[in-house]
Amino acid sequence: MTTQTSTEGGTTPVPAMAATIAHRVLVNYRVDPDVTRSLLPRSLRPQLVAGSAVAGVCLIHLTAVRPAWFAPAVGHRSRNAAHRIAVEWDTADGPRTGVYIPRRHSSSRLVRLVGGRVFPGTHSPAEVTFDATRDDLAVRVDASDLRVRVAGRRGPGIPFHSRLFESIEDSSAFFQKDAVGWSPTRSGMLEGLRLDTDAWRVEPLAVIDLSSTFFKTLPAGAAEFDHALLMRDVPTRWSSVSEPAPAA
């Protein structure tokens, strides 16, 4: 299977990729809509939930990263971080929803090499570590321009608390629907990446320690932590987006 993405030089076929999500943490914030608009390209606007924009950081540990037709036993490992904002934009067929990803970081040299060149998504270098036990999970991201710390408890009986969503089912549905992510290219245009899985499932993560320099740089009180979700052992596929990109 191949998909296509638009570049300044024309349209280039890109292979679909597959991987297994060993751990994926979605740390979600309520953000002031006006502040959020200042972070977006002019063609995108924030999705609003209960009067707030929704933004956060996706921390992901992937195993068996490979072209989609390869066997799962073959592949590369990578640990990545992506700060993201839930957005919507207009198309000829009506409004669409997805996410805008202004910052991507990866501990993998291969991901940094091919990202934005062979496959959508330009990544900056970072040290990304996952420390997991049966009951606890801690993730650290250290880069020259970014620092993230997340620690939480997981497992049966962890309650779900959120001011954005009434239930974990509502939260899960909100994030599952937004399979397309747009991020800036090296030249400032937007390129799309689509995530699909037939085994979407999330559980609450009870966060006990959290910091992100991305959100700390926003005006005081503009961003407040809301809730965190955890995905584990989920097969997934990535492909470039064939639809026209919104204007940057």
pLDDT in tens, 132-186: 999 999 999 999 989 999 999 999 999 999 999 999 999 999 999 999 999 887 7
For the stretch 44-86, pLDDT in tens is: 999 999 999 999 999 999 875 555 555 555 555 788 899 999 9
The helix (H) or strand (E) run that includes residue 114 is: helix 109-114
From the number of C-beta atoms within 10 Å of its C-beta (0-12, 13-18, 19+), residue 187 rates as: exposed
160 vs 123: which has the higher pLDDT: 160
Residue 231 and residue 62 in contact, taking contact as beta carbons nearer than 8 Å: no
Is the pLDDT confidence value at 87 over 60? yes
Structure tokens given for 86: 């839930």
Is a pLDDT exceeding 70 seen at residue 30? Answer: yes
d(CA 85, CA 93): 22
pLDDT above 50: residue 118: no
pLDDT at 195: 84
135's enclosing H/E stretch is none
∠ CA 162-164-167, nearest 5°, is 60
Q: Any residues with CB less than 8 A from the CB of 204 and at least 6 apart, and which? A: 154, 158, 159, 160, 161, 168, 227, 228, 229, 230
Q: Identify the weakest region by mean pLDDT among 49-53, 85-89, 90-94.
A: 90-94
**What pLDDT is stored for residue 124 in this prediction?**
73
Is the pLDDT confidence value at 231 over 80? yes
User: What does the block give as tokens for 165?
Assistant: 């969503």
Q: How sure is the predictor about 244, in pLDDT bands with cuts at 50, 70 and 90?
A: confident
Under 8 Å between Cβ of 127 and 143: yes
- Global pTM reads 0.85
- pLDDT of 67: 59
